Amino acid sequence: MARQPQGHPVVVVACDKFKGSLTAREVDEAVAAGILAANPETEVRIVPIADGGDGTVAALAGAGFSLVPVTVAGPTLEPVAAHYAVRGDLAVVELADTCGLLRLPGGRLAPLTASSRGLGEAVLAAIDSGARTVVLGLGGSASNDGGSGMLRALGARLLDASGAEVPEGGGSLGSLSRIDLSGLDPRLRETEIVVACDVDNPLLGPRGAVATFSAQKGAGAADQERLEAALVTYAVTVAEATGRDHAEIVEAPGAGAAGGVGFAALAVLGGRVERGVELLLGLVGFAEALAGADLIVTGEGSFDHQTLSGKAPMGVLQAAREAGIPATVVCGRTTLSPAEAVEAGAAGVRALLDLEPDPARCMTNAAELLSQLGGELG
């Protein structure tokens, strides 16, 4: 590691979580501990990062945001205790924390009935607290409801041909006849809605929300056919309710995020999409933390081709390249070739499996192994 001319080396540690093992903060602290044990004179700057998915609100808690507790409907409408992050009149609401996969009772998947209502309830709570800009972190969703649950929480009514409320969940949207938006909270017209996500999928079609993501939410082939048809009906009904042609929004990058929550935010709430990792790096002051840095350490549990598609460590690597600072990746495992890692911007890749070939022991002893890697970097 190159030392700065004026003195001690400076290392920025900005890692994402190691899923199933350590939170992002725990990863950062383990790496930092190893660096400092090897060279106590090193200045280590920990910067919490996320990409809009699970862990986003927690990351912001370490960057000047306050966490506000809120009780909302989980994906199967049972109450869950969640948080949103707030700084001034800016609030960040995380779908994963309110009504995502992690909130499914017993982990039982519910592809046809899971709802995004809890996200909308958290948005209302944030607006009640004075938020005028609300960022929606849209990773880790359990639902395929096109954001209809979120819209219900915000005051919309989804009605069938008889005028009765359509049951919640994407599987029921096929019976949708009309959407009444007259009850939407009027404060939404003065609230800026920003969609933070790391996917560019449209709402419908072979790259849409159902085709791309519903299988991981438990949808089989018959479920997927039903959900796709339901979202087609939903999109047409939304267009009728708003009096606008939403063909472009259906195809908009990010409309398919979180089972179509992105579409609802764009089409009904007038939101805009921003790449999750870039937005979050800005919120945590990542560029400022790089001043005078000699090395950046980033990583996540698996450094693979999904990382390259826009996960948080990829955003860090791109920022490091732009700043001309070498970046090393620490991970549990990697499936990328050395050439692919270099192309991604990594000066080096260190995997826990290089130190401990047993995956189970790797996960159990991840903090200790990360500290060992940190010591080698320091």
For residue 237, pLDDT over 70 is answered with: yes
Contact call for residues 253 and 200 (beta carbons, < 8 A): yes
For residue 23, pLDDT over 60 is answered with: yes
What 3-state class would DSSP assign to 362? helix
Q: CA torsion, points 137, 138, 141, 147, in degrees to nearest 10?
A: 110
For residue 62, pLDDT over 80 is answered with: no
Query: What average pLDDT does the structure give for the chain?
Result: 94
For residue 7, pLDDT over 80 is answered with: no
> Could you tell me the pLDDT band of residue 245, with boundaries at 50, 70 and 90?
confident
170 CB-side CA count, 13 A: 36
Tokens of 180: 């009444």
Tokens of 361: 């022991």
Of the candidates 25, 91, 49, 82, which has an alpha carbon nearest to the alpha carbon of residue 316? 49
Instruction: Give the tens place of pLDDT for each residue, 115-151.
Output: 999 999 999 999 999 999 999 999 899 999 999 999 9
Contact call for residues 261 and 152 (beta carbons, < 8 A): no
For residue 1, pLDDT over 50 is answered with: no
pLDDT at 168 (0 to 100): 98
Contact call for residues 210 and 144 (beta carbons, < 8 A): yes
pLDDT at 249 (0 to 100): 87
296-324 average pLDDT score: 93
pLDDT at 52 (0 to 100): 85
Contact call for residues 78 and 57 (beta carbons, < 8 A): no
pLDDT at 6 (0 to 100): 52
pLDDT at 2 (0 to 100): 42
DSSP string, 145-194: STTHHHHHHTT-EEE-TTSPBPPSSGGGGGG--EEE-TTS-GGGGGSEEE
Question: Between these two residues, 73 and 3, which has the higher pLDDT value?
Answer: 73
Report CA-CA distances (Å) from 331 to 66, 320, 336, 377: 29, 18, 12, 14
Instruction: Give the tens place of pLDDT for each residue, 162-191.
Output: 999 999 999 999 999 999 999 999 999 999
For residue 92, pLDDT over 60 is answered with: yes
pLDDT at 244 (0 to 100): 81
How many helices (H) and strands (E) in the chain? 17, 13
For residue 205, pLDDT over 60 is answered with: yes
pLDDT at 199 (0 to 100): 86
Residues 6+ apart with CB under 8 A from 203: 146, 209, 231, 235, 249, 250, 251, 255, 256, 260, 262, 263
The residues pairing with 69 across neighbouring beta strands, listed in sequence order, are 83
The residues pairing with 272 across neighbouring beta strands, listed in sequence order, are 194
